């Protein structure tokens, strides 16, 4: 199977498995796991934040951030297609009791005038805007990168209004690799940031939430409340450390694979590439083939390729460490076969 459903499907490398076996561990709820402590310190340094917290997943990192930043009854501004709005099962409403304010962006980036418009003024009828969430890269916009300049402009507005910014940087390292800057050049335009170790960076599990020391202290309590206090979690932090230190430098390879895929599929008359491919995600519109997304995915699976639907006519392909350039070539052939079978049927 050529699994292009997500970059979450990567298996830990040999080096990661060895690190898991050899990891020094302790009880992290007592703050005594040396591997977790080292990972948190390293991540904070790389992201340019005072402190960091190892969390079980990207969703937990985002939700702990919202819980720590906001009070119940306040409003959180987020992009209308963001992961927090679309794919976290309304956790922000269920746990933090906040009202999401969904603002449509351009290629995943909220526009400054729309942000200004969405920020609430003082009025007895209005909730207070407690937080702005950004996402970089933006998943549903096809791994789109928000530039440091755009991040800075949004951050400046939020600072002016004294509203904190949380950055869902599940794929922030992909964004940084794409534009050739250190990840810090993007994370500085946020108060808190969540990065996933288990996506393009290839760790088996875990995310990092980073921010000011006092924020992380409160976040640690929210993580505990949510049942995310790990004990000998060093066995997960050790591969996370390898992910953080060694896997970011190769992300451009995944981007090249995605570009190759997009280029070849774009040459098919009945396929249309919806996104500008900047990182590791390709959104393919299959409307012209006459297949529904679910039927197309089923036929692809029978050919040995896995992908996911991102809409009734949109298929998302995601490249990653565990799929080679050769397999991308094979996937292109198999996808072309499914498309041409339909053309023949017609």
- Positions touching ligand TLP (CB under 6 A) are 6, 8, 57-59, 83, 87, 135, 139, 168, 170, 196, 198, 207
**Nearer to ligand TLP among residue 115 and residue 167 (C-beta):** 167
Determine contact, residues 180/207, Cβ cutoff 8 Å: no
- With DSSP H G I counted as helix, E B as strand and the rest as coil, what are the percentages for the chain, rounded to 5? 45, 20, 35
Contact 248, 201 (CB under 8 A): yes
Q: Give the burial string for 205-233 (b: 16+ CB within 10 Å, else e).
A: bbbbbbbeeebbeebbebbeebebbbebb
CB of 81 to ligand TLP, least distance (A): 10
Least Å from the CB of residue 107 to ligand TLP = 14
Closest C-alpha among 216, 326, 341 to residue 261: 326
Question: 140 or 289: whose CB is closer to ligand TLP?
Answer: 140
Choice between 199 and 220, CB closer to ligand TLP: 199
* Burial class (CB within 10 angstroms; exposed 0-12, middle 13-18, buried 19+) of 42: middle
Parallel/antiparallel/unpaired status of strands 281-285 and 272-273: antiparallel
* Nearest distance from C-beta of residue 240 to ligand TLP, angstroms: 12
Q: Secondary structure of 212-267 in the HEC alphabet?
A: CHHHHHHHHHHHHHCCCCCCCCHHHHHHHHHHHHHCHHHHHHHHHHHHHHHHHHHC
- Give the nearer residue to ligand TLP in terms of CB position, either 148 or 204: 204
Which of residues 74 and 194 has its CB atom nearest to ligand TLP in the complex? 194
Structure-token match 């959104």, residue found: 283
Nearest distance from C-beta of residue 36 to ligand TLP, angstroms: 17
Q: Residue 12 has what DSSP assignment?
A: P
- Min CB(153)–ligand TLP separation in Å: 21
**CB–CB of 16/202 below 8 Å?**
yes
Least CB distance to ligand TLP at residue 331 (A): 17
Q: In the structure encoding, which two tokens stand for residue 271, read together? A: 């396929």
Q: How far is the CB of 3 from ligand TLP (least distance, A)?
A: 11
Residue nearest to ligand TLP (CB): 58
Closer to ligand TLP at the Cβ: 209 or 339?
A: 209
The crossing angle, in degrees rounded to 10, of helices 293-303 and 325-345 is: 120
Tokens of 147: 């530039």
Around 115, how many Cα atoms within 13 Å sit in the side-chain half-sphere? 25
DSSP state of 166: E
Closer Cβ to ligand TLP, 168 or 278, answer by number: 168
Least Å distance between CB 141 and ligand TLP?
Answer: 10
Q: Which is nearer to ligand TLP, 170 or 299 (CB)?
A: 170
């Amino acid at each position: 199977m050529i699994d292009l459903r997500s970059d979450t499907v990567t298996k830990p490398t040999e080096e990661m498995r060895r690190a898991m076996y050899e990891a020094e561990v302790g009880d992290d709820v007592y703050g005594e796991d040396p591997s977790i402590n080292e990972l948190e310190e390293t991540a904070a340094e790389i992201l340019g934040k005072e402190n960091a917290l190892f969390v079980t997943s990207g969703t937990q990192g985002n939700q702990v951030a919202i819980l720590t930043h906001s009070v119940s009854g306040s409003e959180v501004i987020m992009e209308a297609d963001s992961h927090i709005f679309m794919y976290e099962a309304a956790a922000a409403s269920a746990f933090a009791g906040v009202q999401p304010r969904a603002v449509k962006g351009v290629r995943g980036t909220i526009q400054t005038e729309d942000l200004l418009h969405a920020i609430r003024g003082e009025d007895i009828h209005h909730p207070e805007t407690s937080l702005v969430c950004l996402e970089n890269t933006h998943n549903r916009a096809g791994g789109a990168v928000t530039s440091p300049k755009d991040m800075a402009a949004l951050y400046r507005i939020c600072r002016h209004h004294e509203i904190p910014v949380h950055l869902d940087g599940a794929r922030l390292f992909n964004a940084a690799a794409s534009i050739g800057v250190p990840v810090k050049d993007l994370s500085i335009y946020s108060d808190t940031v969540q990065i996933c170790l288990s996506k393009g960076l290839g760790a088996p599990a875990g995310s990092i939430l980073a921010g000011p020391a006092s924020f992380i202290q409160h976040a640690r309590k929210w993580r505990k409340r949510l049942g995310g206090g790990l004990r000998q979690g060093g066995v997960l932090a050790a591969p996370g450390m390898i992910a953080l230190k060694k896997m970011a430098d190769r992300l451009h390879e995944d981007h090249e694979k995605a570009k190759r895929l997009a280029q070849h599929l774009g040459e098919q008359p009945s396929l249309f590439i919806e996104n500008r491919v900047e990182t590791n995600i390709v959104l393919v519109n299959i409307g012209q083939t006459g297949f529904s997304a679910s039927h197309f995915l089923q036929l692809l699976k029978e050919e040995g390729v896995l992908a996911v639907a991102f809409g009734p006519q949109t298929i998302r392909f995601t490249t990653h460490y565990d799929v080679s350039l050769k397999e991308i070539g094979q996937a292109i052939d198999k996808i072309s076969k499914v498309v041409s079978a339909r053309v023949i049927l017609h």
